């Protein structure tokens, strides 16, 4: 799964990506290479890990620009999303990298993704484009694009091992951030993801124009729409464990998580929060759309036949993410809506702000000192 890279305008990416001043590639001594590996594996954040790799390679090989893309699976057409970029000379006139590209529009990307092999093309006199696959747990997880005015076997001998190190280290992060049973993101990673989303909410108004030629605009995502957080709980899950045993209880959790992955969008973040409780952070959208996708999921669970167990239902409480919030208060309000749903019939979706406006809930203050973990 994944993953929440920042969705920002091209100018924002160029301001925040590392810029490598014009210079020749540094000498590739064993010590310098080991120092570079230590710098990369010292990262714990996926964004920083990707940026560290491309910046390091920019220093070690003869390149003009190096760009990393993450692959988003899609039933119709896989999409490559820019996650890191480094340029030797920021003032170079080479055409800018695309923030988002469907593989069907880039034959070189599509070939690398399908075959898992490097592709090299000449894009101008003395200018080459090399595309390398990045291997993930379930196949090709990303692409590394290198624009260069030269290509040597020494460069390739450095690039491939670094990509192997990156892939292996990414697998370690995957294992530490995902729930073993369901494959969803785990509770330990929730707070960090929420901090990133709230930070983006606070800067969106000054970074992205609603009608700019940004990645959000191309995906018809209005940056002025909020994110939404939903807390979900399986109804009468203890009864399932008591009646059928924990093995069937685990199977319910696994099958439900698979339904989550199919029904929610790739950019929605899915967490197993603990036991039979799950959290979904919805990508920017309207209240109506957020309610519809949550109802679609609730309805999908209600109408799914779980082997041996039969019918299972789920209750959902959701809330709008606000840039002035902290994760504890957001989860607290969503929990209130969830408990209301459970106390008033279960198998329903309840919106916190709506319950407040209708006088069905009294608002509560959640202290910043509240500890969830």
Cβ contact 229:319 at 8 Å: yes
**Per-residue pLDDT averaged across 24-36, rounded?**
64
82/214 Cα distance (integer angstroms): 12
Cβ contact 352:361 at 8 Å: yes
pLDDT band (50, 70, 90) for residue 199: confident
Contacts of 185 (CB under 8 A, 6+ apart): 1, 2, 177, 178, 179, 193, 269, 270, 271, 272
Q: 149-157 contacts: CB < 8 A, separation 24 or more?
A: 149/62, 149/64, 150/62, 150/126, 151/62, 151/120, 152/62, 154/28, 155/61, 155/62, 155/63, 156/118
Q: What is the DSSP letter of 166?
A: H
Please compute, for residue 360, the number of CA atoms within 13 A of its CA located in the half-sphere on the CB side: 15
**Rounded (10°) CA dihedral 250, 252, 256, 258:** 60
pLDDT band (50, 70, 90) for residue 295: very high
Each residue of 226-270: pLDDT tens digit?
999 999 999 999 999 999 999 999 999 999 999 998 899 877 999
pLDDT at residue 20, as a whole number: 35
pLDDT at residue 21, as a whole number: 38
Cβ contact 223:282 at 8 Å: no
How many residues can be counted in the chain? 373
Cβ contact 110:79 at 8 Å: no
pTM over 0.85: no
* Domains defined for the chain, CATH in brackets: 10-177 (3.30.450.40), 187-357 (3.30.70.270)
135-to-141, 164, 166, 169 alpha-carbon distances in Å: 6, 8, 9, 11
**Per-residue pLDDT averaged across 152-173, rounded?**
85
359-to-6, 292, 345, 354, 355 alpha-carbon distances in Å: 37, 23, 18, 9, 6
Q: Which of 85-89, 198-202, 329-333 has the lowest mean pLDDT?
A: 198-202
**Per-residue pLDDT averaged across 51-73, rounded?**
88
69/81 Cα distance (integer angstroms): 5
């Amino acid at each position: 799964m994944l993953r929440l890279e920042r969705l920002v305008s091209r100018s924002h990416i160029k301001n925040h990506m590392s810029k490598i001043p014009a210079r020749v590639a540094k000498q590739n001594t064993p010590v310098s290479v080991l120092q570079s590996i230590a710098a990369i594996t010292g990262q714990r954040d996926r964004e920083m890990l990707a940026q560290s790799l491309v910046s390091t390679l920019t220093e070690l090989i003869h390149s003009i620009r190096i760009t990393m893309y993450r692959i988003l699976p899609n039933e119709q057409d896989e999409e490559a999303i820019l996650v890191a970029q480094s340029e030797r000379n920021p003032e170079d006139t080479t055409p800018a990298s695309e923030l988002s590209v469907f593989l069907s529009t880039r034959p070189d990307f599509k070939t690398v993704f399908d075959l898992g092999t490097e592709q090299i093309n000449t894009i101008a006199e003395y200018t080459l484009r090399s595309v390398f696959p990045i291997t993930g747990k379930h196949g090709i997880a990303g692409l590394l694009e290198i624009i260069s005015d030269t290509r040597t076997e020494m460069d390739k001998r450095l690039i491939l091992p670094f990509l192997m190190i990156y892939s292996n280290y990414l697998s370690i992060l995957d294992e530490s951030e995902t729930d073993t049973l369901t494959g969803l993101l785990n509770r330990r990673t929730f707070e960090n993801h929420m901090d990133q989303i709230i930070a983006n909410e606070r800067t969106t108004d000054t970074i992205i124009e609603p009608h700019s030629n940004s990645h959000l605009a191309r995906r018809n995502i209005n940056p002025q729409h909020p994110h939404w957080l939903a807390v979900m709980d399986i109804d009468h899950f203890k009864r399932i464990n008591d009646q059928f045993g924990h093995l069937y209880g685990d199977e319910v959790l696994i099958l439900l998580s698979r339904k989550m992955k199919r029904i929610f969008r790739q950019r929605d973040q899915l967490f197993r929060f603990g036991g039979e409780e799950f959290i979904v952070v919805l990508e920017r959208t309207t209240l109506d759309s957020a309610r519809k996708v949550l109802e679609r999921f609730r309805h999908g669970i209600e109408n799914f036949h779980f082997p041996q167990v039969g019918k299972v239902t789920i209750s959902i409480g959701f809330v709008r993410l606000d840039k002035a919030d902290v994760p504890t208060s957001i989860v607290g309000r969503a929990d209130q809506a969830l408990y209301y749903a459970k106390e008033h019939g279960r198998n329903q979706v309840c919106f916190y702000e709506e319950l407040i406006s209708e006088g069905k809930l009294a608002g509560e203050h959640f202290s910043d000192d509240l500890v969830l973990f």
